[in-house]
Amino acid sequence: MRKTVQVFYEGRVQGVGFRFTARSVSAGFDVAGYVRNLPDGRVELLASGEAGEVDDFLQALRESTLAGHIDNESTEEIAPPGGLRGFEIRA
């Protein structure tokens, strides 16, 4: 079963390599999506793929060097947007 999630991370998540780490971690999983900084200081991540891959990817992020920077994480399952290819950093 396919799954798409939108995740918002709060904490000291900008200026610490969050987007680059997320993209690097994504290489180990069959997920498509993006990660980007938001003007309010949060980071938005969208990941789409088989449910197990998406869940494992998010868990790997929680266990990565990013863990110490995340104060709060809110996740919502959403309808997949069209046109996702690979996992990218967006401005």
The β-bridge partners of 71 are none
Catalytic residue among 36, 37, 42, 85: 37
Does the annotation mark 72 as catalytic?
no
Catalytic residue among 12, 19, 23, 90: 19
DSSP 8-state code for residue 18: H
Cβ-Cβ contacts under 8 Å for 70 (sequence gap 6 or more)? 9, 10, 11, 13, 62
Active site residues: 19, 37
